[in-house]
Structure 1
Amino acid sequence: MPRPPIHFFSHGSTMMLGEESASATYWKQCGDEALAHNIKGIVMMGAHWDARGTNRIDVAMKADPAKSPVAYVHPSKYVDYKLNPDLKTGKRVIDMLNDAGLDARANETFDWIHDTYLILVRMFLGGCPPTTIVSMNARFDPHLHARVGSVVAKLREENYLIIGTGGAVHNLYRNHWWQMLRYSDNFAMPVPPEAAMLEFRQSIEDVFLRNCRAGMKRGALVNAVTRLMKHPQYRDAHGTDDHFMAACFIAGVVDASEGVADDGCVLGAEDWELVNMCNSQFTVGKWVSQTA
């Protein structure tokens, strides 16, 4: 059975669902590769859903979830897309997290939000694979989210594709909204990005690429990603912590997955939106056979 790569995707603004971009092309490429390798399902952590309580993590267990509306995107792009919640795997994930000492609970009322289904639509336009969505915790402890990733990493051995969808640089307070509001142009760049955004964007690339290579000690990526929250420009790049937790989650998956980091990490695509939002798409590892 093949072992999938691991993805940290920056989903960007809602308009990334409706507009063509380098990121959208790359998401489709990754989806096509996953289907060609007959993935068993998807396990995702997004950036728009968090559970309140010490060590609490919710797992989406609504059999027929609705989709939250998407601003600035024509409904034809997503309204008829059929979601496919994987309740059986969701129950497994809850048990795995509880066995690891976390307070994992089933959430039977949660409707899916664009941070996750935007990616699914772009990756799998022909139909949504069985998908399990795992919440964040509202305290936004980076080490807790890395631990969640380390627990669900075992599913990768069964050909589940694990995805974190957040943002490399995602601070809504620093974005330039006028071009999108007035002209529906999310990619307009009337001025260059601010220096702080450029600096943090380079730092997150360095962290992923330099800590995913042969010879690195286990835990290197978790240590480096969580340390980014102390970066001098972190708060400029992330006005809130929610869109960074998916990176911590993916770091935990990588560090708990034997050998995946030895195959390296690639920055598969990148788009700047709204002047100061950088949507970087990282893939750690590659499709390999367990007997290779």
Structure 2
Amino acid sequence: MTELAPVLFLSHGTAALLQEDSRVRDYWKKLGQDALDHGVKGVIIMGAHWNTAGGDHRKIQIAMNPTPDFMPLIASDPKISEGFEPNPDLQTGQRVIDMLCNAGVHAEADTKFNWMIDSQIAIVGMFGVKSPPITIISQNAYWDPFFHSRLGAILRPLRKERYLIIGSGGGTHNLYRTEWKYSLGWKDVFAMESPPDDETLEFRQSIEDVFCKNGAGPKLRRGLARLMKHPYFRDAHGTDEHYVSACFAAGAAGELDDEGTETVLGAEVWELRSQCEQQYVIGKWPPSWRIKSAVSG
């Protein structure tokens, strides 16, 4: 069997997750250390806040700014991200553009793109202020689940080269139903007076079932696309952008050769009452890739 890097679907949540004590914060650190211990070559990440608009349903952009600025992580202690500098991977970015264009995708470079929190939170949570080289991919604003799954499938071969592919979004993410009063008044994103709505809880269980009961392979790709027709999808996701990055991740682990690969829900926490910040890992780092310094440590 071909050795492949795992694929992640991470709910990036708010920047408060970087400082508040939770399983998610601890799990992010574990994921990052695990990647470093196995010689990760770079990270290819699709967030949820960068969407390529217009009339072209096959167009996306790749971040190719050599000196990008970045958004302040205002919901967390500034000391957590103090000294953080983006580490854009322009060489891999161009390679990603070429791979996508050769497959019929209208991919182009964005040389002015500045990093946003949908990528930053996950990157800082995993690697701290010094990350591996990063390639950021936009979504297409038509949010076609099959198209975004195909993007992941096109880039799947990079997993053989120790690239970590990440979709950053949300398990449930409906800003029309979030409750901010405890966050704004007491800086507590976990507080809630009542449990999440039944519809949100039902969808949260459905996405876990699709990931964990199907595992990797074509069933995962089809299952996540089908969930956009779930009767409670719109209750759980007021808009589509925090969901289709899951389809991107599924595409990167959605071939027949991926069948039998275990998918785990490693951690989750509820924020702002309605946001379920689930963290999924598809596959494992091959033991043979573990670097000697990590073994001896």
Shared fold by TM > 0.5? yes
Partner of 1:49: 50
Q: How does 1:37-186 map to 2 (within 5 A)?
A: 37-53=38-54, 54=56, 55-125=58-128, 127-186=130-189
**Aligned equivalents of 2:10, 2:44: Cα separation in 1:** 13
**Aligned equivalents of 1:142, 1:262: Cα separation in 2:** 23
TM-score, normalised via structure 2 length: 0.92
Describe the shift of the 1:257–1:285 C-alpha distance in structure 2 as closer, same or farther (beyond 3 A). Answer: farther
C-alpha contact (below 8 Å) 1:168/1:278 kept by paired residues: yes
**Aligned equivalents of 1:280, 1:177: Cα separation in 2:** 20
Question: What SS does the aligned partner of 1:255 have?
Answer: coil
C-alpha contact (below 8 Å) 2:81/2:129 kept by paired residues: no
- Asked if 1:21 corresponds to 2:19, the answer is no
Deviation at 1:9, TM superposition (A): 0.5
Of residues 265, 268, 288 in structure 2, which corresponds to 1:267?
A: 265
Deviation at 1:3, TM superposition (A): 2.5
The count of aligned residue pairs is 286
**Aligned equivalents of 1:20, 1:36: Cα separation in 2:** 24
**Aligned equivalents of 1:30, 1:197: Cα separation in 2:** 27
Residues 129-173 of structure 1, C-alpha deviations (whole Å, 9 max, x = no match): 001001000111111100100011110011101111100001111
Residues 76-110 of structure 1, C-alpha deviations (whole Å, 9 max, x = no match): 32252111000000000000000000100000000
C-alpha contact (below 8 Å) 1:46/1:164 kept by paired residues: yes
C-alpha contact (below 8 Å) 1:2/1:159 kept by paired residues: no
**Aligned equivalents of 2:129, 2:75: Cα separation in 1:** 23
**Aligned equivalents of 1:70, 1:39: Cα separation in 2:** 25
Describe the shift of the 1:121–1:16 C-alpha distance in structure 2 as closer, same or farther (beyond 3 A). Answer: same
C-alpha contact (below 8 Å) 1:50/1:138 kept by paired residues: yes
Partner of 1:219: 218
C-alpha contact (below 8 Å) 2:73/2:117 kept by paired residues: yes
**Aligned equivalents of 1:252, 1:41: Cα separation in 2:** 18
Identical columns (%): 46
C-alpha contact (below 8 Å) 2:45/2:167 kept by paired residues: yes
Deviation at 1:288, TM superposition (A): 1.9
**Structure 1 residues without counterparts, runs of 5 or longer:** none
TM-score, normalised via structure 1 length: 0.94
Partner of 2:240: 241
Residue type at the aligned position of 1:143: F
**Aligned equivalents of 1:31, 1:14: Cα separation in 2:** 17
Partner of 1:9: 10
**Aligned equivalents of 1:187, 1:77: Cα separation in 2:** 19
